[in-house]
Amino acid sequence: MNRHPHPLLHVENLRVWFPVKGRLALVRRVPAAYVQAVDGVSLTAHSGDIIGVVGESGCGKSTLARAIVRLETPTAGSISVSGRDIAAMSGKELRRIRPLIQMIFQDPYASLNPRMTVFDAVAEPIRVHRRMTGRALSSEVFALMDKVGLASRFVRKYPHEFSGGQRQRIAIARALALQPQLLVADEPVSALDVSVQAQIINLLAALQQEFDMTMIFISHDLGVVRHIARRVFVMYLGRIVETGPAAEVFDAPAHPYTQTLLQAIPIPDPEQERSRVHVVPKGEPPSPINPPSGCRFHPRCPKAQPSCSLNDPALERLDEVREVACPFVRRV
């Protein structure tokens, strides 16, 4: 696998805030508040990396994914792809960069046009961006169908004629049609049966290696992320609280939030499960409209100290390969 000295993707202090309209907005034409979906996220991915992003529902994972592929406009910060900042791009400039970045969505049925056959869905980006027509176009579509494990005889069918797993394979074929350098997979297996999830995960891993793509894999299923990702970013309420190699983060989590996430995973052995001590976070996740002062996890943290409500911890190096946003974690 080729690794380049400069990162393919570099996200720096990214913010995506959504205005909340209220009476003040009607009178003064200013938002009453903001949903701070992503608030100061930084991450880096080199060519060929598989990055996992994990966290509870509502922590900002999907908004981060949509911002990276520019389906959401960043409020602040930068998103560099191959050294070019796409955060401020628009129009023709953004359209030229889009073939480099593709996305697989959570619900394959919602992401496929029900009025288009499989052939048209996969062929459309090839026609538009690669200017391919005729037999060359057909051959490319059939080759992509073969790559994702679907027979070419299915190309004239419509999305509703397929199962959820087959529809996700079609969505993967469409994402690969433009030969992207960066593939963002947002909960790509959460809407599928458990029996099908492993097939899709293994397919994505094989295609990532074959095409040497960089992949951002977003999921709330820690077991899935541990299987596929090489490096993990743990998100809580719009921010990264811990990052490091997947094996080290899962085997020895440092941040209290990461620890509670991992403790929520059941152990198959009933004896071990019964003897395990569970540390349950207090209360419900706070609203991203009005996040807590200081550390955002402190109202629920079982290890919180009085200073946690005052000081907002930044990511700091825990060791040579890991970073954590908690001042009470022992560092080397």
In the chain, the amino acid numbered 273 is E
Q: Using one digit for the tens of pLDDT, what is the confidence trace for 225-284?
A: 988 999 999 999 999 999 999 999 999 999 999 998 888 777 776 776 666 666 677 778
Q: What's the CATH number for 9-324?
A: 3.40.50.300
Candidates 37, 67, 15; CA nearest to 285 is: 37
Candidates 182, 180, 183, 169; CA nearest to 108 is: 169
Q: Which whole number is the average pLDDT over 137-162?
A: 93
Q: Which whole number is the average pLDDT over 115-142?
A: 93
> Which residues, at least 6 apart from 153, have a Cβ–Cβ distance to it below 8 Å?
none
- Asked whether the beta carbons of 303 and 226 are under 8 A apart, the reply is no
Which strands form 33-45's sheet, in the order they lie side by side?
Answer: 33-45, 9-20, 76-81, 84-85
**Helix, strand or coil, per DSSP, at residue 177:** coil
Terminal C-alpha separation, the chain: 31
Q: Using one digit for the tens of pLDDT, what is the confidence trace for 308-330?
A: 999 999 999 998 899 999 988 86
Helix axes 164-176, 194-211, angle to 10 degrees: 10
Quick one: tokens of 14? 């990214």
Q: Which whole number is the average pLDDT over 82-86?
A: 91
Model confidence at 152, in pLDDT bands (50, 70, 90)? Answer: confident
Model confidence at 1, in pLDDT bands (50, 70, 90)? Answer: very low
Quick one: tokens of 177? 């049609």
Judge if pTM exceeds 0.75: yes
Q: Using one digit for the tens of pLDDT, what is the confidence trace for 91-109?
A: 888 988 989 999 999 988 8
Q: In whole angstroms, give the CA distance from residue 184 to residue 286.
A: 27
Extents of the domains making up the chain: 9-324
Mean pLDDT of all residues belonging to the chain:
89
Q: Which helix (H) or strand (E) holds 52?
A: strand 50-54
Please give the C-alpha separations between residue 95 and each of 113, 129, 175, in angstroms, as whole numbers: 21, 9, 15
Percent of the chain at pLDDT > 70 equals 91
User: Torsion over CA of 194, 199, 204 and 207, rounded to 10 degrees?
Assistant: 180
